[in-house]
Each structure stands twice: as structure tokens, then as C-alpha cells.
Amino acid sequence: MTNTSTNISTDQLAQIKRALPFALSFALIPLVWLTAYAGGWAVILVPLITWYLSSIVDSLLGLNLDNADPDATDEDLFWYRMIPLLWMPAQLVTLLAMLWYVPQADHLGGWERFFIFFGIGVMTGTIGINYSHELMHQKSKLERLWADILLAMVLYSHFRSEHLLVHHRYVATPRDPVTAHYNEGFHRFYPRVLRQSWKSAFRAEKAMLARKDRPWTHRKNPFFRYWALQGTFLMLALLLGGWAGLGLFLVQAGTAIWQLELVNYVEHYGLTRKHLGDGKYEHVQPHHSWNAAHRASNWLLINLQRHSDHHYKPDRRFPVLQTYGASAAPQLPYGYPVMTVMAMMPWVWRRVMNPRVRKWREMYYPEITDWTAYNKGTTPYPR
């Protein structure tokens, strides 16, 4: 009996040890509290650490090319699953506490308050929306509810509908607003995706209801839940921090949305599925998403950068997402923190990424000689 108990305990400790690096994001919570308490130049620590420290550690630790067993059960992955589940209440408490504390803190000036909530937005966008992405793909009602709450904190609830009903179905085709076209700079992509993704998400939900002979006003339309949750957070921001708190909440939400769409821009830039005729496209394959195996940034982003496998097998939890070599999927030269900064400088982005897109085309689709329609994202692509 003693030996059995020891074995179970040893297995659990081993699993905790393997999962622990993926909880790196929790270090941002006390850092947010520190910036609010200290003020001054400390208020820029969250974006600096999120964007740059993980990139420095990436350069030191290199790539992680190991793949976990894709058949691991939820029981095997218990401690991994706890990370996004625990994040939601931690982020919720931190955001609400900051909305109460920062507007009335006498030692903080206006620019300090702004940058504190800019940093919170970097956290809620880089980590919170990413964790909501992991949770929304699961079948558990609790996990999906947690995903909705995380998205409501940044006023981007429709992302769930857009991601599950539109993006995964139409990725790398003209019907996916989130797939960045070849040579489309981020500053053109961003306003386009803000406008189109909301519309496509609403149309997708409306179409699902219509298939059951229900109008879009039916109570089953999740947009009513989205609006209720978002309205709740706007009201909480106003009650806790007054008009200043509401303004800071909007700074946080805007920053988070910007962070999300920067990542969306990077993930599929210039990649397209071949048009087969009659409005049909080839099945999604690993080579339709950019892959990045950088160790530290994958810890921070719970393997989001293994994006090729996520689109190939969307039901896989983050610990068992597989990475691919250059022969199976296109590779990013750096992790997302570096690539998203690069995306803000279109001239640098094109110099780095356009040759890689052209090489990808030659490798996978040598038979296509005219890429004009693919470049413009027109419907349909030529056969």
C-alpha cells in the first residue's frame, strides 16, 4: 500500500514539474500590483517583460522540438488544465482591484495611470485572450463560461463565435477576415478585421439559428450573453473607478484587442488554401499556419505558436499540440513577441516575411503561376 501511494505521488509531482513552466504567465499578476504601488517608470514593466524578456530567454533556450503523446487523457493533463482555469479568477480580481485602486491613488499621475492599464491590457490580451482561446475549444460548460468571462473583460466576446464558426472553417481562404493577405500591412489589416470579424461572427450565429427556423432575436443567440457580460464589466468599471475608471478600462480593452489581432496577423500571413473550383478549397493542413517552436514564448503562450497543429487538430489541448519541421509547416524566424513588434513596422515585416511566403508558394504550389487573386483575397481564387 505504501509503495502504491508513493508511486501515485511521484507521478503527480512529475506532472506538476512538466506543467509548471506553462504557468509562467502568473508572474505578471504580482507585477501588475507592483507597478500600481510603485508608479514612476515601473509602470512600463509589464509590456517590457512580456514582449522582450521572453524573447531574450527564447534566444538562450532555443527551440523545443519534443512532442507529447497526443493520446494523453484529461486526467493525464490535469495540472495543465488547471492553468487557464485558475487564470480567469486571478485576472478578474486583479482587474477589478486596479479599477478601484488606481483612479484614487494620489501618488499616480495621469500618464502613470494610463500606462498601468496599458500594461494590464498587454496582460489581458497576450495571456487572458489566449487562455480564453484554449478554453473555448473545450466541451466543458465551465471552461466555455470562463472563456466568455475573459473575453467580456476586454469587450471582445464575439471572438468566440468568429473563431469557432468562421476562422477554423475558412482559414486561409477569402471568407476568413482574420487571414492576412500577402503584402497587406498590419495597419491596413487591423481596421479591416475589426469591422469584418464582428459582422462575420454575427452572420454565422444568425445562420445557425436560421437552420433551426429561429430568428436572430432568439434567446439562444450567444450575442445576448456577450452583450450582458460586457455591459456588466462596463458598469463595474464605472462603479469602482468612476468615469476615470471607465476610461482606463477602455484603455485596457483596446490594448488587449490590439494584441490579439497582432497575433492573428502573424499566424497566417500570406498563406492560402488552394481553390479546387465551385467555391471549394483543399482541407486545412499544417502548412496553412506559421509554426514557431521557440521554448520560452511557447511557455508564456501555452503552445499557441504550435499553430500549425492547432488548425490541423483543433480539439487537442495545448500540452499535446505537436510541432512540425520545415518540410511540413512554414517556420517563423522568431517567437510571437518579436514577430508582433515587427508587424508594427511594415517595411521590416515585408523584408522578413515576403520572401518566406514566396518560398512557401514554390514549395507547396509550384503549379500555380498567377497569384494575383490570392494576393488580393478575392473570391473565388482561380483554379
Per-residue pLDDT of the chain (383 residues; tens, 9 = 90+): 444 444 556 877 888 889 999 999 999 999 999 999 999 999 999 999 988 888 899 999 999 999 999 998 888 899 999 999 999 999 999 999 999 999 999 999 999 999 999 999 999 999 999 999 999 999 999 999 999 999 999 999 999 999 999 999 999 999 999 999 999 999 999 999 999 999 999 999 999 999 999 999 999 999 999 999 999 999 999 999 999 999 999 999 999 999 999 999 999 999 999 988 888 899 999 999 999 999 999 999 999 999 999 999 999 999 999 999 999 999 999 999 999 999 999 999 999 999 999 999 999 999 998 888 887 766 554 43
Q: What is the domain count for the chain? A: 1
φ, ψ (nearest 5 deg) of residue 379: -115, 130
CA torsion, ordered 127, 129, 131, 134, to nearest 10 deg: -140
Q: Please, which residues bridge with residue 331 across strands?
A: 291
Expressed as residue numbers, the domain containing 132 is 2-376
Q: Who contacts 32 (Cβ-Cβ below 8 Å, separation ≥6)? A: 46, 94, 98, 116, 119, 120, 123
φ, ψ (nearest 5 deg) of residue 155: 60, 35
Q: How many CA atoms lie within 13 A of 238 on its CB side?
A: 6
Q: Would residue 381 count as lying in a domain?
A: no
pTM for the model stands at 0.93
Q: Would residue 354 count as lying in a domain?
A: yes
Q: Please, which residues bridge with residue 277 across strands?
A: 280
Q: Who contacts 117 (Cβ-Cβ below 8 Å, separation ≥6)? A: 98, 102, 248, 249, 251, 252, 255
SS3 280: strand
Q: Who contacts 200 (Cβ-Cβ below 8 Å, separation ≥6)? A: 162, 166, 175, 177
Q: Nearest Cα to 347, choosing from 187, 190, 192?
A: 187
Q: Would residue 197 count as lying in a domain?
A: yes
Q: Would residue 223 count as lying in a domain?
A: yes
pLDDT of residue 1: 41
* Distance in angstroms (rounded) separating the CA atoms of residues 36 and 304: 29
One-character DSSP codes across 80-127 = HHHHHHHHHHHHHHHHHHHHHHGGG-TT--HHHHHHHHHHHHHHIIII
| Residue 268 · residue 172 · CB < 8 Å | yes
Nine-digit cell at 289?
Answer: 499556419
One-character DSSP codes across 289-318 = S-B--BHHHHHHTTTTT-HHHHHHSTTS-G
Q: Would residue 32 count as lying in a domain?
A: yes
Q: Would residue 51 count as lying in a domain?
A: yes
* Distance in angstroms (rounded) separating the CA atoms of residues 20 and 17: 5
Q: Would residue 342 count as lying in a domain?
A: yes
Q: Would residue 14 count as lying in a domain?
A: yes
* Distance in angstroms (rounded) separating the CA atoms of residues 159 and 257: 10
Q: Please, which residues bridge with residue 291 across strands?
A: 331
